Structure 1
């Protein structure tokens, strides 16, 4: 997956435990663990906002993009939408 989650790094830098962050943010430690391990398919912006506020960081400190070796193939509908925007 090309999205890398660095939540564990930021937590270590802040010397904060996952359970503590989960309690402050108001989500379960299990859901936060799913995000931390990179298994999450999505994150709500309000949750990301709370995490960033508590950890005093930017979203880019937690999430990074690293392109895969395999190119992304767009559906014909997506390709048409992109060409319509130009």
Structure 2
């Protein structure tokens, strides 16, 4: 699957979005999420709350893509790790 920012799909990516006001004064501060192999974004958006395709501060403005070929175990391992982390 390819990255498609228009559809908000970022497979194998860490994504970042600014936090209004806070990021204006300190641009390094923002909110991060991680996307599954299919590009669905998950982010921690509150106490014990994980959102799916609904980032707390809006859609990503930056992303860092990781090569699926570098993931030991492939897409299944990537998705399983995200699932385990977000359902812990």
Q: Which category describes the TM-score, using the shorter chain as reference length?
A: under 0.3
Give the structure with the larger strand fraction. Answer: 2
Give the structure with the larger helix fraction.
1
TM-score, length basis structure 2: 0.24
Q: Compute the TM-score of the two structures, normalised by the length of structure 1.
A: 0.24
